[in-house]
Amino acid sequence: MYNKNDGEQHNSSEGGNFANLETDSSGDYTVDLEKFTASPTTNDEVYVSVYVASSRKKGMTRKKITAGSANTGVDIVVERLEPHQAMVWFLRSRIKDPQTGRGNTIKMIKTNEPRGQAKLTKTSFPRVSVRHDDEEGERAGSTATEMLLTITLKIGVHIWVKEGNTQSLSMSDDVSREGQEMRDYLLRDIANTLKNRFFVGDPANRDPMIQDMVAYTKVGTETPDDEVDEERGTMKKYLMIQFKHIGG
């Protein structure tokens, strides 16, 4: 469980109230938000995620705390997710959207790039795309049917830079930025978030969405030849990351 507003988080390795998630009659998972040390308050954004090692299924749900409503429980449906899909959910739970009018990062962080979409305007940006770029595999053992995959993901940050209609937004450090400065700040924010979660001491503190991703490496950044699309008024740059993951 992770409260995006104040950074409080808990995991099952803590024991006590957080030792187990409960399952309902359909086998879906549920968790009680009141188990937080500091109960979530109105307008807090809470994410709850789970990884089931036996089936390698994952799930995440988001809860916006509202005044006067029943905020005690949330249900989570688990399923097999591709690594780039799991990474999208992880980043949605950890990265703050400077475009506050959108309400949450579900509209900001997606698996596709914002191209060929005529309805995208200044308020549709910034956008983050997470794409599966490459993979190589080898048997996880001499008798194993599963593969140990080396996955490369391409995380793009897309910014609105339309001439005469620029966009300036307050970032997570409360400093307003625009254009290239905004793009590079978001790339650093994503890179630092990944580093901080992947290299945390106890793997249980990492996050269920990336629990089964190991040997994380930041490959570097990539500035494409079409960095600036003057007709659409957008600018982009990519962060390349790599990790190992069991598939099969």
**Residues 68-97: tens digit of each pLDDT:** 554 566 778 888 899 999 999 999 999 999
Q: Would the pLDDT of 5 be above 60? A: yes
Are 223 and 108 contained in the same domain? yes
Tokens at 106, concatenated:
């579900």
- The whole-number pLDDT of residue 196 equals 92
- Band the pLDDT of 104: cuts 50, 70, 90: confident
Considering 80, 102, 137, which residue would you say is the last residue of a domain? 80
Are 68 and 85 contained in the same domain? no
Are 49 and 100 contained in the same domain? no
Are 119 and 48 contained in the same domain? no
Residue pair 47/93 in contact by the 8 Å Cβ criterion: yes
Residue partners of 226: CB distance under 8 A and separation at least 6: none
Highest mean pLDDT among 32-36, 114-118, 122-126, 219-223: 219-223
Are 24 and 110 contained in the same domain? no
Instruction: Please state, as a whole number, how many other Cβ atoms lie within 10 Å of the Cβ of residue 73.
Output: 13
More confident residue, 74 or 148: 148
| SS3 (DSSP) at 213 | strand
Q: Please tell me the pTM assigned to this model.
A: 0.87
- Band the pLDDT of 130: cuts 50, 70, 90: very high
Q: Considering the chain, what percentage of its residues have pLDDT values greater than 70?
A: 83
Are 99 and 146 contained in the same domain? yes
- The whole-number pLDDT of residue 7 equals 86
Are 214 and 162 contained in the same domain? yes
Are 110 and 132 contained in the same domain? yes
Q: Would the pLDDT of 180 be above 80? A: yes
More confident residue, 147 or 186: 186
Separation CA 220–CA 224 (nearest Å): 13
What's the whole-number mean pLDDT along residues 45-61? 85
Highest mean pLDDT among 17-21, 50-54, 63-67, 193-197: 193-197
- Band the pLDDT of 143: cuts 50, 70, 90: low
Are 54 and 109 contained in the same domain? no
Residue partners of 200: CB distance under 8 A and separation at least 6: 206
- The whole-number pLDDT of residue 109 equals 95
- Band the pLDDT of 155: cuts 50, 70, 90: very high
Q: Would the pLDDT of 161 be above 70? A: yes
Amino acid at 140: A
Domain hosting residue 12, numbered range: 1-80
Are 90 and 39 contained in the same domain? no
Structurally, how many domains does the chain consist of? 2
- Tens of pLDDT along 232-244? 899 999 999 999 9
Are 103 and 218 contained in the same domain? yes
